Structure 1
Amino acid sequence: MDLSLLRTFITVHRAGSFTRAAALLGLSQPAVTSQIRTLERQLGRPLFLRGARGVTPTTVGDELAHRAAPHLDALVEIAETELDEESAVRTLHLAGPPEFTSARALPALAPLVAQGLTLRSSFFTTAEETLEGLAAGHHDLVITTSHPRGGLLTATPLCDEEHVLVAAPRWAARLGPGALRHDGPVVLERLPVVEVHESLPFVSRYWSAVFDALPATAGTVIAPDLRAVLECAAAGAGLAVLPRYLCEGALARGEVVALLDPPVPPLRTYFLAVRTGTLALPHIARAHEWLLGAAADW
C-alpha cells in the first residue's frame, strides 16, 4: 500500500474535511479526493461518509486510522529526526494571546533560540481564531484558553491563571474597608470599569465565579489589550479584572490594590495545542516540552 495514500487518509480523518486536509498537505482538494478514492478502491470498503460540512469516518475508516496512525507518526518522527540533525535551523510558528505569549511563552523559549531554533509568533485575541489557524496549518504550536474538539488537534494543560479584581488606591479608599465583603458587588456599581471588550469577558467571569451574579454596569474604557487595561486601572480609570501574573508587579508597587481576596479565586486554564501527530517533529516537541517545564514555575 502506498504510504502517501495512508498519510492523506490520516490527515483527512483528523481534519474531518477534504478541504482542510488539502491545505495541511499542500495539495489540491481534487488530489486529496482522488487519493482517498484510490485507497477505498484498494481496500474495497468506503472510509468516509460525505456530508455538507465535511466527512465522517465509517467504522472501517476509524479502525484503519486507529491501527495506522501510530505507525505513520513513528515513521514521520524517524524521518524528521534525521532532517533535524542535518539542519541547524528549524522554524517554529507559535500563536497565542498577546499578553501571555509576550510575558510568558516567548521569554521561556529564548534558550531554544540560542540552540538554533528560529521563532515566528502571531497574536490573537480569541481562542477560536488561534485554533482555526492551527487547524489550517498556519501555526505549529498555539497557546489557547479553549480545549479543542475533534481529532485534528491535541491539547495539553499548560497552567492556570488566577484573576484578581483591582483598582487604583483612591478607588479602594472610596469603597471603605470591608464594604465589598459586607454589601456585595452592589458597592462596585459606582466604579467605572476598564475591560478588553464590550462584553466584559474578564469582569463577567469574575462576577459569576465570586458573586454568582452578572455585572450591572457597562464598560467605561475598552482597550483590547490587558496591558493597556492595567495601565488605565493604575492611572485611576476604574476597576479591572486582571491575571495575577500581569499585575503582580503593580500590586507590589502599590499602583493598584486588590479589592477582594476571595477564598477560591477565579482561574482560567491555558492549553498547549498542536495538530495531532506533529509532536513527532523534533522542533515542535522540544518547544512543547520546554514550555511545559517552564509553566511549572508559573
Structure 2
Amino acid sequence: MIELTTLRYFAGAFETGTFSQAARANEVSQPTVSAAIQKLEQRLGGALFLRAKSGLQPTPLAIRLYHDTVESVAHLSSLDQRLQTQPQQRVRIHCAPDVLLQSFAPGLNALRWKSPDLTFAFTDDPLGSDLAFLSEACVPAGHGFILLTEEPFCVALGRFHPLARAAGLRLEDIVDQALIHRPYCPDADRLDPAAAKNGASPGPAAQAMNDAQLLDLVAAGLGIALVPRSHGEGREDIILRPFIHPEKTSRRLGISYRKSVFASTLAKQLADTNPLP
C-alpha cells in the first residue's frame, strides 16, 4: 500500500512543479521529497517526472496517478480536522493583474494542507480582500504589507525580435518600438518610452488585461513590454533584457493583508513559505 505521506509529497511536486516547493508546502526537506518520489517510481515501475528548464514535467503515469488520488489525498489529510467539526473559514484573495500567481502557489498549497478548514475565493476588489498579492504602491488603505522582494523591470521581446541579442536596452533603443499597453499597471505610464520622450504615446500596438496575457502577446510578436524580471522564468518563447534607465525602475512586491488576527496570521505564514528571491 502506498503511504498517504508519499502521495502528499507527490501531489505537492505535481502541483508546484519542483521538489523544493513541494518540500516547503509539506514542511520537510527537499531530499525527503526526492527520496519518497524515487521509491514511489520504483514501486510503480516508471518515471513520474522529467526535469526541464521550466521545472518538473509530469509523465503520463504521473498524470494518471494524480487524477486517481488527489481527491482522496485531500480528503484523508483533512480527516482529523473534519471529525473535530471545525467550521470553515473563507479567505478572500486578490491577485493584481501585473502579478503572476504561480509565484505564490507553494504558499497557498501549504495553507491548504495545514488548515483544511480554509476555503479560498478570489475577488477583484483589493480593499475587500483578506490577502492580496500586489506591488507596495497598490496596497489598499488600512491594510498591512509584508515585502517579499524588489525586482527590476526588464524589456520583454519575442524570441526572434531584432533586439533580442542586445545585452541591455536603453530608452532610445526602444522608443520607436511597438509597446503593448498595460492600463492596469501602476508603473506603465512612468515607464512608457514614447510618453517619456514626446510627452504622449502614439498608441499601443496591443492592449493586455493582465500580465499573463501580456507575455503571450509579446511571444506572438505583437509588440514589446516592460515587465518585472521574474516574468521571464519558465518562458522559452520570450527574451528578457535589462532596461538601462537613469531612474530606478523596479517594483516592491509582497502580500497585503486586512489588519485582523486571522488575515495577518495567514499573511505571515505565506511569507514564510514564499521567500521570493
- Taking structure 2 as the reference length, the TM-score comes to 0.55
Deviation at 1:224, TM superposition (A): 0.5
SS at match of 1:232: helix
- Cα distance in 2 for residues equivalent to 1:297 and 1:224: 24
Matched residue, 1:295: 274
**Number of the residue aligned with 1:143:** 133
How far is 1:105 from its partner? 2.6
- Are 1:268 and 2:251 matched, yes or no? yes
1:229 aligns with 2:214: yes
Question: Is 1:130 the equivalent of 2:126?
Answer: yes
For residues 1-298 of structure 1, the aligned pairs below 5 Å read: 87=86, 89-98=88-97, 100=99, 102-115=101-114, 116-124=116-124, 129-131=125-127, 133=128, 139-145=129-135, 146-149=138-141, 152-173=142-163, 177=166, 184-197=170-183, 201-206=186-191, 216-250=201-235, 253=236, 255-262=237-244, 266-276=249-259, 278-279=260-261, 281=262, 284-298=263-277
Distance, in Å, in 1 between the alignment partners of 2:166 and 2:152 is 23
**Which residue of structure 2 lines up, in the alignment, with residue 37 of structure 1?**
none
Length, aligned pairs only: 188
Q: Where in structure 1 are there 5+ consecutive unaligned residues?
A: 1-84, 134-138
> Contact 2:99–2:134 at 8 Å: present in 1 too?
no
Residues 201 and 111 (structure 1), Cα distance of their counterparts in 2 relative to 1, 3 Å cut: closer
Is the Cα–Cα contact under 8 Å of residues 166 and 241 in structure 1 kept in the other structure?
yes
SS of aligned partner of 1:190: coil
Q: Alignment partner of 1:222: what SS?
A: coil
- 1:290 offset after TM fit, Å? 1.9
Letter in 2 for 1:93: R
Assess if the C-alpha contact under 8 Å between 1:109 and 1:287 holds in 2.
no
Q: Is the 8 A contact 2:131 2:256 kept in 1?
A: yes
Shift of 1:227: 0.9
Amino acid at match of 1:289: K
Show CA shifts across 1:43-87 (max 9, x none): xxxxxxxxxxxxxxxxxxxxxxxxxxxxxxxxxxxxxxxxxx872
Give the alignment's Cα RMSD to 1 decimal: 3.5
Counterpart-to-counterpart distance in 2, 1:165 and 1:216: 17
**Matched residues in 2 for 1:236 and 1:89: separation?**
46
Between the aligned partners of 1:101 and 1:123, the Cα distance in structure 2 is 15
Q: What's 2:8 paired with? A: none
Contact 1:203 1:240 in 2 (8 A): no
Amino acid corresponding to residue 179 of structure 2 in structure 1: V
Partner letter of residue 126 of structure 2? T
In 2: Cα distance, 1:172 partner to 1:191 partner: 11
Pick the structure with greater CA Rg.
Answer: 1
Query: Greater share of helix residues, 1 or 2?
Result: 1
Name 1:13's counterpart in structure 2: none
Please give the TM-score of this superposition, normalised by the length of structure 1: 0.52
Q: 1:187 to 1:288 in 2, by over 3 A?
A: closer
Q: Which amino acid aligns with 1:273?
A: S
What is the SS of the residue equivalent to 2:178?
coil
Mapped partners of 1:105, 1:167: distance in 2:
25
The residue type paired with residue 295 of structure 1 is N
Alpha-carbon distance in 1 for matches of 2:218, 2:144: 37
